[in-house]
Structure 1
């Protein structure tokens, strides 16, 4: 159980920050886990992951019995002056839903902080979700739309999200997403893929 004295928790966070500054493992965010007040942590608006009620109950049981074994991955937003969740929304939600968890952790959440721009942090969210085999088509479509709107190319999107070009094209086209880019100049090879996709749907 964490000490309930905020000053002690803040002091320990400062010690962790100091140790991290001296660490040869700076490339690994897990080398600096901080406990921050829940009100300083905010969900992102693009997470494509969905967890069933039964799995949420299991997550609660896991955290209740074993404690937090994984920190929440965040980025720091200067604009909002909050930590924005990249991965771990449901670990965050458990502390907000169950008072026993929040009380045991003195109203704080364990976080690590990564330094990413908006496209890279959306990609990080997808990579975390896909590595666990959990992401939704609607959420993926929303992320891809935003990445393209922010100027990311198809090739870079595929690289960052771990997708095959065919997978990206089919996702954009089958969901009707391609209609939003009807004036986009696809390569001859991509046009062939879209043509075959249309034929297969008929």
Structure 2
């Protein structure tokens, strides 16, 4: 397999859209710094997308904030002729989500609420906890915490649990008063 970075192409901004599952958040001061960086240095890294042939659209897997800068900075958009440097990956939705998380976790922090949604969607699509651990760099305890935060009992449907407590009849008699 050849790495996608060897196939960068210029894609019109209006043929790119954000995904609905990116849990990464960047504070306004860092966004201003990103805009300055892109202004001063140009785009030094392409964004990663999945091409949706039926819609003739590129959906962002990684690079949402660089994409956002192109949308919001007229001076950069004008200089770049509304074209984004893009590489594409061919993966199903679960693997694209995992790729987004890997990219984000390698760089910094992201939203717990959106991570809860992603874990829920992965579990509901049939991905095992082991798959999630392996593919998005989480450990079993992190997954458990996110499932607990979600409050969705369905996320625990394939788990065996021990009894939390067992009735002790001797103890009940001891506390029984007439």
Tell me whether the two structures share a fold, i.e. TM-score over 0.5. Answer: yes
Per the alignment, residue 153 of structure 2 pairs with 179
Check whether the contact 1:141–1:177 (CA below 8 A) recurs between aligned residues. no
1:48 aligned to which of 14, 19, 23? 23
Check whether the contact 2:119–2:146 (CA below 8 A) recurs between aligned residues. no
Aligned residue runs from structure 1 range 1-202, under 5 A: 26-173=1-148, 175-181=149-155, 184-188=157-161
- Structure 1 vs Structure 2 CA RMSD: 1.6
Structure 2, unaligned stretches of length 5 or more?
165-178
> Which protein is bigger by CA-based radius of gyration?
2
**1:50-89 Cα deviation digits (max 9, x unpaired):** 1100000000000000000111000111232200000001
Q: Secondary structure at the match of 1:151?
A: coil
Q: Secondary structure at the match of 2:45?
A: coil
Check whether the contact 1:44–1:85 (CA below 8 A) recurs between aligned residues. yes
Q: How many residues align?
A: 164
- The 4+ residue runs of structure 1 with deviation greater than 4 A are none
Check whether the contact 2:50–2:60 (CA below 8 A) recurs between aligned residues. yes
TM-score computed with the length of structure 2 as normaliser: 0.86
Structure 1, unaligned stretches of length 5 or more?
1-25, 196-202
Q: CA deviation at 1:177?
A: 3.4
Q: Secondary structure at the match of 1:122?
A: helix
Q: Secondary structure at the match of 1:116?
A: coil
Higher relative contact order (CA 8 A, sep 6+): 2
Structure (1 or 2) with the greater helix fraction: 1
